[in-house]
Structure formats: structure tokens, C-alpha cells
Chain A
């Protein structure tokens, strides 16, 4: 099968049961996307599929041969990454790639005018960021530092 990841095309011979997450981690050596639950419950595996954020553990690799996959390794110094460094938006770092990819995807959703989650006038108020990011769990509790990191990355 063919996978296009971070702008590079890869030919792979994979078991059809292989998830996109396992294809990235076990076969392409792209271990930035993390396996926290393998059930779409924690968000650690979040990557961008044609710019949309998805849980890569819930997607079969074979079904994504025509998609463009962007992982944390392909973000290349995105403002969200810099914001996380500046605000100490992580501790153990395991949920971090998923949080960052999710935030990048989320900012795209706001830009495209996706509806508000909280009803706030400001689509990037702190409450709105928290609500929109709630699919990504962090057991270290670095949430309060991620919110300003994401807000500032959005130029607020």
C-alpha cells in the first residue's frame, strides 16, 4: 500500500488490520504519534489527515492511501510547538505530540468557522480552547499551561 506522510510517499507491505498509528510507529519509525489507549479515548495518537485532526488509532492505514498525513514530525517549528516550550505546556511529554497536532487542527477548525463549543463570542476564549481541546487527555495536568500556549500561537 501507499502512504503519504509529511510530504513523503512510502510503499509499504502491511497486514490490512494495521492501524494508521501502528503503520506510523512500527513500520515508518515515526514514533511521535503516541499510543495511549488504542481506542480513541485519549487523543495521544492525534495526527492531521488532509489537515483535519483524527485519532490515528481508529483509522486503518490501508484506507488512507490517497490522504496526506501530517504527524508531529512534519509540523516543523509550528507556533503551537514554540508556545508549549514557552509556557511549559507538558511534563512527561507523552500526550504532547497529540495535544500539539490537535491544537493545530483545532485552530484550523476555528479559521474555517466551525461552530463554537461554549457559546462564547470569542471562538478562542480560554473556555473555548479548553472545550475544543478536551479530546486530548493529559495525566500530568499540564492543561493550564497549554491554554495560553495555544492562545498565543493563534496570535491572541
Chain B
């Protein structure tokens, strides 16, 4: 480091906090435009078919009704879901088949409601199953891993192992549901397109819209984003529809998705079916690990969730095998949701390990410690840093784990069965090419500009801390500009890679400015990142949960939840803690509440709103805390940081499920653990 770190790590309050608590922070749909019209998306009422014609009610007050019969032709983007209103083909229920544009929101909605669609309905399939004849192995799984891996002889090792586990866990469709629905306001000035859009990647959305509309100048403004959790990582149909409608009508157009539309239109986490087989010696040393995962994708687009990839580096075992299978269905395309792959995959692996600990009568923490690898088990790559065992031990100390009676259904307080459970956590430490620009404002201040975005992660604040240290000045002298595609291009706020990627570019630009003593410096990290090893880079952690299960009703309460992490240098203690807790709370939702309930006949998740798709509410969150080890890793990036946005949801659901078993003796292997799955197995 060229500068002593003073700002990095400090619990600096969010720079945009005053705007957010006073209601003046502006989100995409809040940039008023002169003469603005409103677009309302008409979703397909069938999962598979052909749209023959659209009949608009002339008494409805619409400016335009766009559908494939009259919509202008768009150039293909690399995402077929952005080819909106381009074809008569209907690939899933909820797919946009028309857009109604009107002068007011009320008129647009009404005109959409009375629009008549002439549709030829075709047969559909909506249910993921492992024995479907069309199940196939994809070439790769996200974001480019081999679909299968193998070492040694798993079958023989399992046959010879004195202790084995062979279990199947399933996770349902999960829906990102950021509080701010996806929204866009688009305006054309000649061939210049300006969009105010809620997304995680303004540079990427600008490039996509430029391709789709065949224009050079696209300006994406993304100052504040009301959460994304993966669902805003790329341009979504609302952005294309708004720009399309604005082009046709010659007016600025707002398209804000209703909550219900988000369940099908912006991505979701695929359901998974996971079979895990473990073989171990009687002392708990693993000899074999197998993790096979099935997930679904759509007819439009192959999205291959990397469910079993985490299993490749988590624990040592000489004989190992992982695999992924996909099934195309007449359903919406799954996309990224917080810790895609890791979150569902670690439910399977970490719950299976708990079942192994039960068979061995071994403490689950001790079981994990006995299977700690020295290098990445499948690649042999050394870890840049791995303090998993330290997290297990420190977490167990802090939680008060030791001395726990391993037997289930032993602790009772009135009507409540009480149990504790734990699970490991991990997430890859990644960085992606970005460019930052720093200017000496000559008044003692410095402007730091990068096309990054802050979804609530604290990016704006953290980048100011990084810049302050790199320049050797207090944070008060840094003026941060992000959230705009005209700024130097930045990578997506995803994969827990934002701070590492953008902070790296900012650091180098600041160093360059100091080196040259000039008024401006620009730095692109593409070459530096290309030279970097990709493997052996992970954050680790451990989650501990205490649950109370009502013996009469089966109600499950998470009375304590604790996360202990080793995630490199923590850049801002205040926002980091909030992010860890937020991930853990979403993990609680995954364990206990969240489930897209499929109606196979309709090809739709029937609980597509926030009254019926339950996410954790205030009253669900009782005692919860997070802590971290002081981890130093100088092989990652100049800050020594690992991403922290996703690790909180990895393993926390398994910790809760394992605690539910410890409390009740009931293994719930199909998520979420609702009371109706517990109640029949409780003693009367």
C-alpha cells in the first residue's frame, strides 16, 4: 500500500443517507418529464402459444397499442428476452405480448385490461423432474464452469465406506423481489436515448440498448437503486419497452412493472433437486462426496445454475463427483438471485453433512474441521486465504455452541422445542475489469468518477474511503460520482465483486494521479485482472442458529442467528455488518418462508405478490448478529477485500434447517420448512 489506511474499515455513515431518510433520493421512475406517457405491459395469459392478433377497445384512451404486428424491428441482443414484441411466439406465461401507452397511468392500465388477445394455445410443461426424457447436461454452468467434475472412484468409495449418507434435497423457485420494482423512463432527443433505469449495471444496460436500437448515444441514469439481488444485473424488458414506446409515440414514456409481473419477467432462482451422497470413515473423515443437481431453464434461453460448484472446493475427500442437469420448460427464464448456485447448493451439502454428523454421533463443527482441505480439492490450487476453521471455532465460541447435546428433541421450554444448528458459508472472491477517473479539483477536493452503482451496498461510501486512503486525504475531500453510464465504464454490481472491481480501479487511478501530479488520471484494470489467477479465491464463514418450534402448532421461530466471516479486509464496518445481516435474513426467508408455488396447469406461480410470497418481516427477526475475523490477503486486489454481499445467504438456510432437526427430530428436505411439514411428525 502506498498510503496508510485510515478511512478504509471505518464505520463511515452512508453518504446518501440524508437523501434516503428525507425522501429526496431519486429512483428510476421519479424523474418527471414534460409530456410523459405511461406504458402498461400486457402479459401473456398462457405459457405456450402464438399471438394471432390484438384487438384494442377504441373507447379506451390509448395513444398506442404495440404488439408484434406493429412494433418496430429491434436488433438482437444476447438476451432473447429483450426481443420484446418481435414475434408471435409465446414462451411463458407473463411474457409481454403487448404494451399499451396512454397519457395517464390510470388510462394505460384500463386500456390494457380491456385489450383482447387472439391466442392459439399450445401444450406446455411446467414441472421440473429428474426422470423427464428431455433432461440434458449443459456444456457449462454459470458463469463458465464445466457441468461435471470427477476425481477417483466415487462408487467404489461409497460402497466401501462404513458410514454413508444418500439424501435428496429440493429448493423451490425463489423470487428476488427488490422493494423497488423494475422501472424505466425513456426519452429520445433525435437519435440520443436517455433512460432513467433501475439496474445494477448502467454501463452494460447502455451498451445493450445501443445494440437493440442501433444507436450510438445511450445515456443511462441510475443514481439510486431500490435493491436488485441479481434481478437488475442486465437490461430487463421494461427498459426496451419504454425506449420502444418513446420512439413510436415521440413522447417520454415510463414503464414501471407491477409487483405481480416481476415474478415472471425479471428472473428468479430456479427450483433445484439435489442428490448428495457422502461416504466417511468412522472417525468422520470423508472418503467420497457426490453432488448431482437438477434445475430448469426456459425455451428462450439456457440459464444453467451452478448449484454443485461450491461442493468442488468446500471439503477434502479423495473420491468426488459433481454434475448438473437441465430441463427446458415453458416457464420464465431463471436468472441470478443472490448467491446463485451457492445458496441452494449449500443447502444440500451442509444439511447432508449434518445428517452425516448425526450418524457418526459427531459434533457438526468437529466434522467440518476434520475435513478441511489444504488446497482446492479439485484443482490443487492453493487458497489465497482460507480461515474457515477459524470461523467455525470463533463462531462456535461466540454463539455458545460447545457442550451442546447432539441428540434431537431434548430441549423444551413450555410449548417450545428448542434446537441449535450450524452450517458453513463460502463465496468466491471475484473482480472484473473497470475504469475509474480521478480529477484534482484544485480546491483541495478530488472528483472520483466510475460508472458503478449503489443498490444499497454502500458502494458510494466505500469508494470514497478507498479513494481517500489512496490519495492520502480525508474522505470529506472526495466527491464521488457513480450511477451514470457516461462515466468511465464499470462492471456489474453483482457476484459480490463491486467493491473489489471498482475499488481496484479507483485505487490505481488515485495512485496514478499522485505519481504524475497531474490534474486527471484514468485507469483501466482490464490487463491487471487478466493476469490474475482465477481459482483458490473465496471468502468463508460459519452460521449458527437457534430455533424454537411450537410443539402444538409447529410454528418455527429463529430466536438467534449468528454469522462469523473471514472475508478479507472489511472496508466499512457499518455497512458490512448491515449487508451480512441482510443476507442472513434473506437466508431465513429461504429456509422458512419463501416459495414460488407452481400451478402446473397455468404454468404460473400462483402466489405472485407480497401478500402470498412471504419474505421475512420485522417480527420474524429476533436476535441476530454478525462478526468477522481480521483477514489479510494481499493476492486479491489493492484493498485486500473479498465480496460480502452474498455470503450471508450461503449456509444460513442450512443452519436453520439443521436447528429445526435438532429441536424436533424432523428432517425437512424440501424447502421451505413450513409448519405443515413439521407438525405431523411431532409427538402429541
Name B569-618 residues within 8 Å CB distance of A: 574-575, 577-579, 581-586, 609-611, 615-618
Which residues from chain B contact A42 at a C-beta distance below 8 Å? 179, 259, 610
Given known A-B contacts A38-B259, A142-B578, A144-B621, A81 and B227 have beta carbons under 8 A apart = no
- A97 and B106 contacting across the interface, CB-CB below 8 Å: no
Which residues from chain A contact B579 at a C-beta distance below 8 Å? 91
How many chain A residues touch the partner (CB < 8 A)? Answer: 56
Let me know if B32 is at the binding interface, CB within 8 A.
Answer: yes
- B106 and A15 contacting across the interface, CB-CB below 8 Å: yes
- Chain A residue with the shortest CB-CB distance to B580: A141
- Chain B residue with the shortest CB-CB distance to A33: B23
Let me know if B455 is at the binding interface, CB within 8 A.
Answer: yes
Which residues from chain B contact A127 at a C-beta distance below 8 Å? 619, 622
- A140 and B227 contacting across the interface, CB-CB below 8 Å: yes
Which residues from chain B contact A73 at a C-beta distance below 8 Å? 22-24
Which residues from chain A contact B22 at a C-beta distance below 8 Å? 32, 72-73, 75, 81
Question: How would residues 23 to 62 of chain A score, 1 for a CB under 8 Å from any chain B CB and 0 otherwise?
Answer: 0011001111111111101101000000000000000000
Q: How far is the CB of B344 from chain A (nearest CB, A)?
A: 18
Q: How far is the CB of B565 from chain A (nearest CB, A)?
A: 16
Which residues from chain A contact B578 at a C-beta distance below 8 Å? 88, 91, 140, 142, 145
Q: How far is the CB of B420 from chain A (nearest CB, A)?
A: 20
Q: How far is the CB of A144 from chain B (nearest CB, A)?
A: 5
Bound Cα distance from A55 to B323, whole angstroms: 48
Bound Cα distance from A144 to B563, whole angstroms: 14
Which residues from chain A contact B20 at a C-beta distance below 8 Å? 90, 93, 96
Q: How far is the CB of B545 from chain A (nearest CB, A)?
A: 15
> Residue among B23, B227, B256 with the most chain A CB within 10 A?
B23
How many chain B residues touch the partner (CB < 8 A)? Answer: 61
- B179 and A95 contacting across the interface, CB-CB below 8 Å: yes
Let me know if A17 is at the binding interface, CB within 8 A.
Answer: yes
- A93 and B177 contacting across the interface, CB-CB below 8 Å: no
Bound Cα distance from A97 to B17, whole angstroms: 12
Question: How would residues 90 to 103 of chain A score, 1 for a CB under 8 Å from any chain B CB and 0 otherwise?
Answer: 11111111001000
- Chain A residue with the shortest CB-CB distance to B224: A93
Let me know if B408 is at the binding interface, CB within 8 A.
Answer: no
Bound Cα distance from A134 to B617, whole angstroms: 6
Q: How far is the CB of B669 from chain A (nearest CB, A)?
A: 26
Bound Cα distance from A123 to B457, whole angstroms: 33
Question: How would residues 533 to 567 of chain B score, 1 for a CB under 8 Å from any chain A CB and 0 otherwise?
Answer: 00000000000000000000000000000000000
Name A106-156 residues within 8 Å CB distance of B: 127, 129-131, 133-134, 136-147
- Chain B residue with the shortest CB-CB distance to A37: B259
> Residue among B14, B19, B618 with the most chain A CB within 10 A?
B618
- A91 and B256 contacting across the interface, CB-CB below 8 Å: no
Q: How far is the CB of B178 from chain A (nearest CB, A)?
A: 6
- For the residues of A in contact with B, the DSSP-based class is loop
Bound Cα distance from A5 to B619, whole angstroms: 31
Let me know if A85 is at the binding interface, CB within 8 A.
Answer: yes
- For the residues of B in contact with A, the DSSP-based class is loop
- B585 and A37 contacting across the interface, CB-CB below 8 Å: no
Q: How far is the CB of A40 from chain B (nearest CB, A)?
A: 8
- A141 and B104 contacting across the interface, CB-CB below 8 Å: no
Bound Cα distance from A16 to B260, whole angstroms: 24
Which residues from chain A contact B181 at a C-beta distance below 8 Å? 35-36
- A143 and B585 contacting across the interface, CB-CB below 8 Å: yes
- Chain B residue with the shortest CB-CB distance to A147: B618
> Residue among A85, A136, A140, A141 with the most chain B CB within 10 A?
A141
Bound Cα distance from A145 to B583, whole angstroms: 14
- Chain A residue with the shortest CB-CB distance to B587: A141
- B456 and A93 contacting across the interface, CB-CB below 8 Å: yes
- B584 and A141 contacting across the interface, CB-CB below 8 Å: yes
Which residues from chain A contact B17 at a C-beta distance below 8 Å? 84-85, 90
- B106 and A96 contacting across the interface, CB-CB below 8 Å: no
Let me know if B43 is at the binding interface, CB within 8 A.
Answer: no
Q: How far is the CB of B465 from chain A (nearest CB, A)?
A: 15
Bound Cα distance from A81 to B23, whole angstroms: 10
Which residues from chain B contact A138 at a C-beta distance below 8 Å? 179, 618
- A34 and B615 contacting across the interface, CB-CB below 8 Å: no
Contact of B583 among A35, A131, A137, A141 (CB under 8 A): A141
Q: How far is the CB of A102 from chain B (nearest CB, A)?
A: 10
Given known A-B contacts A88-B574, A88-B575, A31 and B23 have beta carbons under 8 A apart = yes
- Chain A residue with the shortest CB-CB distance to B457: A91
Let me know if A18 is at the binding interface, CB within 8 A.
Answer: yes
- A94 and B624 contacting across the interface, CB-CB below 8 Å: no
Which residues from chain A contact B227 at a C-beta distance below 8 Å? 91-92, 94, 139-140
- B180 and A94 contacting across the interface, CB-CB below 8 Å: yes
Bound Cα distance from A92 to B225, whole angstroms: 6
Q: How far is the CB of A22 from chain B (nearest CB, A)?
A: 6
Which residues from chain A contact B55 at a C-beta distance below 8 Å? none
Let me know if B258 is at the binding interface, CB within 8 A.
Answer: yes
- A92 and B456 contacting across the interface, CB-CB below 8 Å: yes
Which residues from chain A contact B619 at a C-beta distance below 8 Å? 127, 130-131, 134
Let me know if B4 is at the binding interface, CB within 8 A.
Answer: no
Given known A-B contacts A85-B13, A141-B621, A94 and B27 have beta carbons under 8 A apart = yes
Given known A-B contacts A72-B23, A136-B618, A37 and B178 have beta carbons under 8 A apart = no
Given known A-B contacts A143-B585, A143-B621, A31 and B179 have beta carbons under 8 A apart = no
Name B13-61 residues within 8 Å CB distance of A: 13-14, 16-27, 29-30, 32
- A35 and B256 contacting across the interface, CB-CB below 8 Å: yes
Contact of A92 among B29, B30, B179 (CB under 8 A): B179
Q: How far is the CB of A136 from chain B (nearest CB, A)?
A: 7
Q: How far is the CB of A78 from chain B (nearest CB, A)?
A: 9
- A140 and B224 contacting across the interface, CB-CB below 8 Å: no
Q: How far is the CB of A119 from chain B (nearest CB, A)?
A: 13
Which residues from chain B contact A134 at a C-beta distance below 8 Å? 617-619
- Chain B residue with the shortest CB-CB distance to A100: B21
Bound Cα distance from A18 to B180, whole angstroms: 20
Let me know if B640 is at the binding interface, CB within 8 A.
Answer: no
Which residues from chain A contact B617 at a C-beta distance below 8 Å? 134, 137, 143
Contact of B616 among A31, A75, A97, A141 (CB under 8 A): A141
8 interchain residue pairs of minimum CB distance: A32-B23, A94-B226, A92-B456, A141-B585, A91-B456, A93-B20, A72-B23, A141-B582
Question: What are 5 A-B pairs at a CB distance below 8 A?
Answer: A42-B259, A88-B14, A141-B616, A143-B618, A145-B581
Q: Give residues in B with beta carbon < 8 Å to A.
A: 13-14, 16-27, 29-30, 32, 104-107, 110, 177-181, 224-227, 229, 256, 258-259, 455-458, 574-575, 577-579, 581-586, 609-611, 615-619, 621-622, 624
Assuming A26-B105, A31-B30, A39-B609, what are 6 further A-B pairs, CB within 8 angstroms?
A: A18-B104, A34-B226, A36-B610, A37-B259, A88-B13, A140-B179
